[in-house]
Amino acid sequence: MNVISRHLCDLGRFDADPAKSYTIPANYYIDPAIYEREKESIFFKAWNYAAHVSQLEAGGDFVTLRIADQSIVVMRGQDGVLRAFYNVCSHRAHELLQGCGRAKLITCPYHAWTYHTDGRLRSAVGQKRVEGFAAGEFALKPVRVEEYAGFVFVNLDPDAPALATQASTLAADIKGYCADVPALKFAHRLTYEIKANWKNVVDNFLECYHCSIAHPAFVDLVDIKNYKTETFDIYSSHISPAGRADNTAYRIPDGPSSNFAAWWLWPNVTFNVFPGAANITVLHIQPTGPETTLEHFDFFFASSTPTADERQAIDYLDKVLQPEDIGLVESVQRGLHSRGYNQGRLMVDKDRSYNSEHGLHHFHALVLKSLGDL
């Protein structure tokens, strides 16, 4: 093993026992070489969130997403089959589609090569004049796709176990707090560019040790003393009864949900049910570099038009909770460069109280195992 490899694999005081463990070392959050390893060992092998099923209902509906430096399109074919492809033309690699929408055909903006919604090449300008041109060679390259728990996921690894196998109880857990996820409608998206490593952002979500200090309105919204984190195979749950109806975050209307419930799913997506009427939000934490992250916060309600109460909840997340968290993780990212820091002790108590950081340890162990460092 060379010097660089020994440096990357030095786990310092990380321990398999969360009650004895420190965090993963600081270089895991800043080293470009580790980020390159994560792309191959984590993001190109894991199930990546793509959309809610309502966004891909009709033939021709599509969404695009980026998995690190890979562009992917997920599309409902005119035959009703859901498929995913690398989002590049088979001619000269121009990206085919942007954002989301509906299309009867896929046409490359560069040279107008056109594809059917099932990925087959329909036509290429001038193909009849090219000797030996075989249209069958140029179908879009497929990517695995799976519907699970009311959402759509893709995986670049053709041999990966099904998500339903890896996170077998997650769908039932979510249904217990939001009974009919597929029936909800996309209502709003918030987007943030964050100057922090993606793991730093996930870390912040996975513990509420900081909540009483940094999120006073959120502590009003939930019953923080009964906030409970549990870890499972490739996900964790974060559940609390609702707090005061007159909390300082937003008005809680009468509705079926009287709890705050959230789930983090490996590697980088969270699902959140906030107190109030039927709802679920999706926070997609997407790495764009070793120390930069793009967040999409998508809201799904009974209607695609938010009510006044739902709009108030969106405004709270956008103007209060997210700025609070972004300020925290960007400060941590700067601090990770300090010569005075390498690892910190995880605060894990025997009761796994609301202050306990065992959720971070669960995540850190998954990272290290995926990289082959543990």
Please say which residue of 105, 126, 155 terminates a domain.
155
Report yes or no on 207 lying in a domain: yes
HSE-CB for 350 with a 13 A CA cutoff: 0
Q: Any idea what the Cα angle at residue 355 is, between residues 353 and 358, rounded to 5°?
A: 75
Spatial CB neighbours of 150, under 8 Å, sequence gap ≥ 6: 52, 53, 171, 174, 181, 182, 184, 280
Considering the domain architecture, whether residues 187 and 61 belong to the same structural domain is answered as no
pLDDT reading at 161 higher than 50: yes
Distance CA(24)–CA(34), nearest Å, equals: 12
Domain holding 210, by residue range, is: 170-371
| Bridge partners for 286 per DSSP | 294
For residue range 281-294, list pLDDT tens digits in order: 999 999 999 999 99
Q: SS in 3 state form for 72-136?
A: EEEEECCCCCEEEEECECCCCCCECCCCEEECCCEECCCCCCEECCCCCEEECCCHHHCCCCCHH
**Taking Cα atoms as reference points, which of 99, 4, 131, 117 lies closest to residue 59?**
117
**41 in a structural domain:** no
Which residues, at least 6 apart from 43, have a Cβ–Cβ distance to it below 8 Å? 67, 68, 156, 267, 268, 287
CA–CA separation, 49 and 155 (whole Å): 9
Average pLDDT rounded to a whole number, residues 33-61: 98
Tens of pLDDT, residues 182-221: 999 999 999 999 999 999 999 999 999 999 999 999 988 8
Residue 141 maps to which CATH number? 2.102.10.10
Asked whether residue 7 carries a pLDDT value surpassing 60, the answer given is: no
Residue 4 counted as domain residue: no
At residue 251 the predicted structure's pLDDT band, cuts being 50, 70 and 90, is: confident
DSSP 269: E
Average pLDDT over residues 105-111: 98
Domain count, the chain: 2
Band (pLDDT 50/70/90 cuts) for residue 312 is: very high
Same structural domain, 132 and 195 = no
For the chain, the distance separating the N- and C-terminal CA atoms, rounded to the nearest angstrom, is 15
CA distance 208 to 47: 26
Residue 3: which pLDDT band, with cuts at 50, 70 and 90? very low
pLDDT for residue 225: 92
Measure the CA angle with vertex 24, ends 18 and 28; round to 5°: 155
| This prediction's pTM | 0.94
| 192 and 90 share one domain | no
Q: Is the pLDDT of residue 273 over 50?
A: yes
Percent above pLDDT 90 for the chain? 89
| Claim to verify: residue 284 and residue 252 sit in the same structural domain | yes
CATH number of the domain encompassing residue 330: 3.90.380.10
**What value does the mean pLDDT of the chain take?**
94
Q: Looking at the domain assignment, is residue 350 inside a domain? A: yes
User: pLDDT confidence of 244, banded at 50, 70, 90?
Assistant: confident
* Domain-embedded: residue 8: no
What's the pLDDT at 4?
39
